[in-house]
Amino acid sequence: MPLGTWRLFGVLTLGALALGAQEIPPSPPSSTFGGSVDVRVVNVEVVVTGAKRERVRGLSARDLVLKVDGEEVPIEYFAEMEGGKAESPAPSSSPSESSAPPAAASLAPEGRSLLVFIDDLFAVAKQRDVVLAALAKDLKLLQPEDRMAIVAFYGGRLDVLSGWTGDRRALAAALQEAQKRPALGNDVLAARRSDEDDEELVEQALASSDPDGGGARDVYGGARAFSPLVPSAGSIGEPRFDSRLAKISRAVVAAMQGMAPPSGRRTLLLLSGGWPAPSSHLPLAVAANRLGYTVYPVDVQGIDTAFVVNDASRNYSKTDGFISSGWKRASQDGMEFLARITGGKAILNSARLTALGRVVEDTSSYYWLGFTPKWKGDDRHHRIEVKARQRGLKVRSRRGFSDFSRATEAAMTAQEVLLLGGDAKDRRLTVETGPLATKGLRRELPVTIAIPVADLTPIEQGGHWTVEATLAAGVMDITGSFSSLAEIPFRLDLPEKPAPDTLTRYHTTLKLRRGSQRLVLTVRDPLGGRTLWGEAEVGP
Neighbours of 504 (CB within 10 A): 21
Q: Is the pLDDT of residue 193 over 50?
A: yes
Question: Please, what is the Cα angle at 364 between 362 and 369, to 5 degrees?
Answer: 95
Query: How far is Cα 465 from Cα 267, in angstroms, rounded to an integer?
Result: 42
Query: How far is Cα 210 from Cα 195, in angstroms, rounded to an integer?
Result: 22
Fill in the DSSP letter of residue 347: B
Residues composing the chain: 540
Q: Is 361 exposed, middle or buried (0-12, 13-18, 19+ CB in 10 A)?
A: exposed
Fill in the DSSP letter of residue 363: T
- Tens of pLDDT, residue by residue over 462-477, are 788 888 888 888 787 7
Q: Is the pLDDT of residue 320 over 70?
A: no
- Tens of pLDDT, residue by residue over 69-110, are 999 999 999 999 887 677 654 333 333 333 444 444 444 557
Amino acid at 215: G
82 touches 364 (CB < 8 A): yes
Spacing of C-alpha 351 from chain mean position: 23
**Beta-sheet pairing, 159-165 with 147-153:** antiparallel
Question: Please, what is the Cα angle at 136 between 135 and 140, to 5 degrees?
Answer: 100
- Tens of pLDDT, residue by residue over 15-63, are 333 333 333 444 443 333 333 445 578 889 999 999 888 999 999 999 9
- Tens of pLDDT, residue by residue over 142-187, are 999 999 999 999 987 889 999 999 999 999 999 999 999 999 888 8
- The DSSP string of 110-172 is --EEEEEEEETTTS-HHHHHHHHHHHHHGGGGS-TT-EEEEEEESSSS-EEEEEEE--HHHHH
Average pLDDT, the chain: 76
Q: How confident is the model at residue 527 (pLDDT cuts 50, 70, 90)?
A: confident
Of the two residues 364 and 461, the one the predictor is more confident about is 364
Q: How confident is the model at residue 305 (pLDDT cuts 50, 70, 90)?
A: low
Mean pLDDT of 215-223: 35
Amino acid at 419: L
346 touches 299 (CB < 8 A): yes
Q: Which residues contact 509 (CB under 8 A, 6 or more apart)?
A: 20, 21, 22, 444, 445, 446, 447
Query: How far is Cα 188 from Cα 119, in angstroms, rounded to an integer?
Result: 13
Closest CA to 522 of 492, 488, 493, 499: 488
Give the per-residue pLDDT at 236: 37
Give the per-residue pLDDT at 330: 85
Of the two residues 396 and 33, the one the predictor is more confident about is 396
Q: Is the pLDDT of residue 14 over 50?
A: no
Question: Please, what is the Cα angle at 312 between 307 and 314, to 5 degrees?
Answer: 55
Query: How far is Cα 339 from Cα 398, in angstroms, rounded to an integer?
Result: 9
Answer whether 0.85 is exceeded by the pTM: no
Q: Is the pLDDT of residue 302 over 50?
A: yes
Mean pLDDT of 239-245: 72
- Tens of pLDDT, residue by residue over 327-358, are 788 889 999 999 999 999 999 999 999 999 99
Q: Which residues contact 495 (CB under 8 A, 6 or more apart)?
A: 464, 465
- Tens of pLDDT, residue by residue over 449-506, are 899 988 999 888 778 888 888 888 878 776 666 665 567 778 888 888 888 888 888 8
Query: How far is Cα 373 from Cα 403, in angstroms, rounded to an integer?
Result: 9
Give the per-residue pLDDT at 165: 95
Half-sphere exposure of 522 (CA within 13 A, CB side): 29
The DSSP bridge partners found for residue 459 are 466
Give the per-residue pLDDT at 38: 54
**Beta-sheet pairing, 442-452 with 430-433:** antiparallel
Give the per-residue pLDDT at 345: 95
